[in-house]
Chain A
Amino acid sequence: MTNFANRSALPAAVAFMMVGCASTPVETVERVAEARTLVQQAEAAGAAEHASDALSRARDNLQQAAVRQDNNRPKEALRPAEKAVVDAELALAATRAAKAQKAEAELRSSVDALRRESRRTP
């Protein structure tokens, strides 16, 4: 929600201050920082293994945002930063889902084995 509110603030600022004015890149800075944190979290969670597509999109978008920010093009950095945020969040969620699925499969097979074992014993 905050995202939308903040995001709406920037175009508003752009609209009212007109193109060419030096806009405060706080929004961009925050978004890039958020994306960077989320990408790191996703990496730490094992997204490279479980959600490699989402993670690499997040990295690419973050990279693009960071480059544009460094090149003093904060307005152009905002969208890739926002993309990087959702990509990283997806990478995290998909990683969690994959892990849960794996745990489920392992438990399922151990229950099956247990049941077979239990049937065998008199």
Chain B
Amino acid sequence: MRIVNSAVAVAVALALGACASTPTSIPQLEAARDAVNRVEMMPDAAQLAGKELEAARNSLSVANEAAKSRAPRDEVEHLAYLAQRRAQIAEAQLNAGRSQQNIERAQGERDAVLIDAREREAAASMQRANNAELLAAARGAEANRTQQELDAARQEIVQLKDAVPTDRGMVLTLGDVLFDTASATLKPGADLSLSRVADFLLSNRDTRVVIEGHTDSVGADMYNQQLSALRARAAADQLLARGIERSRIESTGLGEAYPVANNGTAAGRQQNRRVELVFSDIAGQFAKPGRQP
């Protein structure tokens, strides 16, 4: 091919008779040789831009042959131009190939970093799980402590600090202030007292309670008896609502029959308006028989 080409170039030169002399050095051809040389010097050129480098070499050969066979200068310059561009194309291809290689390498690195990060994350989440376990254990201890405190509180209730020992047994008095006047509805303040009573009954499964309603002497007997019965029932309902068995609760309205203070004074009457909770012993036995209205 090159021979044909150079032969043609010679033929063209002869036919045209244009250029009698071709200078030994043509800058464009030198530039093309340098460009091809430059790419050839790169050790990875054959691998990354083999085809393009081959094309550049061939193109340069054509230009060299043309120069050697004293083809017209413009012909040589033109062929050298093409060869130089081919060399530049090879170099660009080489650069692109290098970048591609680096990209693949960087992707590998990125994957390694990601895998590493995932492993760290896995280790960290395992650590977190361990921490959570420790925390849960700590919370469990706390819960135990809370339970102990609760038990202690229960113990207090068991002792029924507000209850007073009498010849009838332990008696807890809910004062008049826990009911609205002439009403059997318990005020919210009664909740705490009745909650304690319920806790007490829950932890002493055999203890029973008699709930007595009392009034002062003002008003008709019948009315007082009914009101006291309703108030006692209201307190009993609260205990039922807190899970105490009906069989352990008895409620009764005693009206004005059992005053604890002088009905002649306002303070006395207020003391007489009350609900009393009389507790059995822990075996369910009352110290005395229940009072009757």
Interface residues of A (CB under 8 A from B): 1, 4-5, 7-8, 11-12, 14-16, 18-19, 54, 79, 82-83, 86-87, 89-90, 93-94, 96-97, 99-101, 103-104, 107-108, 110-111, 114-115, 117-118, 121-122
Bound form: Cα–Cα A14–B8 in Å: 10
Cβ-defined contact, A97 with B93, below 8 A: yes
27 inter-chain pairs at a CB distance below 8 angstroms, sorted by A residue, are A4-B5, A5-B1, A8-B1, A12-B12, A14-B15, A79-B78, A82-B78, A82-B82, A83-B81, A83-B82, A86-B81, A86-B82, A90-B89, A93-B89, A93-B93, A96-B92, A96-B96, A97-B95, A97-B96, A100-B95, A101-B96, A104-B103, A111-B113, A114-B110, A115-B113, A121-B117, A122-B120
Interface centre among A14, A15, A16, A117, by most chain B C-beta atoms within 10 angstroms, is A15
In the complex, what residue of chain B is closest to A100 when comparing beta carbons?
B99
Interface residues of B (CB under 8 A from A): 1, 4-5, 8-9, 11-12, 14-16, 52, 58-59, 62, 78, 81-82, 85-86, 88-89, 92-93, 95-96, 99-100, 102-103, 106-107, 109-110, 113-114, 116-117, 120-121, 124
Residues of A within 8 A of B58 (CB): 1, 4
**Within the complex, which residue of B85, B93, B110 is in contact with A87, where a contact is CB–CB below 8 Å?**
B85
Q: Closest Cβ of chain B: how far from A41's Cβ, in Å?
A: 14
Q: Closest Cβ of chain B: how far from A58's Cβ, in Å?
A: 10
Bound form: Cα–Cα A103–B102 in Å: 10
Bound form: Cα–Cα A4–B54 in Å: 14
Residues of A within 8 A of B88 (CB): 54, 90, 93-94
Interface SS of chain A? helix
Bound form: Cα–Cα A2–B107 in Å: 39
Bound form: Cα–Cα A71–B9 in Å: 26
Bound form: Cα–Cα A116–B147 in Å: 48
Tell whether A100 pairs with B120 under 8 Å between CB atoms, given A1-B58, A12-B11, A18-B15: no
Residues of B within 8 A of A97 (CB): 92-93, 95-96, 99
Tell whether A11 pairs with B8 under 8 Å between CB atoms, given A5-B1, A86-B82: yes
Q: Closest Cβ of chain B: how far from A46's Cβ, in Å?
A: 14
Q: Closest Cβ of chain B: how far from A110's Cβ, in Å?
A: 7
Cβ-defined contact, B109 with A12, below 8 A: no
Cβ-defined contact, A111 with B110, below 8 A: yes
Bound form: Cα–Cα A118–B1 in Å: 60
Q: Closest Cβ of chain B: how far from A117's Cβ, in Å?
A: 8
Q: Closest Cβ of chain B: how far from A33's Cβ, in Å?
A: 18
Residues of A within 8 A of B99 (CB): 97, 100-101, 103-104
Tell whether A86 pairs with B86 under 8 Å between CB atoms, given A15-B8, A103-B103: yes
In the complex, what residue of chain A is closest to B74 when comparing beta carbons?
A79
Residues of B within 8 A of A90 (CB): 85, 88-89, 92
Bound form: Cα–Cα A12–B15 in Å: 10
Cβ-defined contact, A107 with B106, below 8 A: yes
Tell whether A114 pairs with B117 under 8 Å between CB atoms, given A90-B89, A122-B124: yes
Give me 16 other A-B pairs in contact (C-beta within 8 A), A97-B95, A108-B102 excluded.
A8-B4, A15-B8, A19-B15, A54-B88, A86-B82, A93-B96, A96-B96, A97-B93, A99-B96, A100-B96, A101-B96, A103-B99, A103-B103, A114-B113, A118-B117, A121-B121
Bound form: Cα–Cα A4–B86 in Å: 13
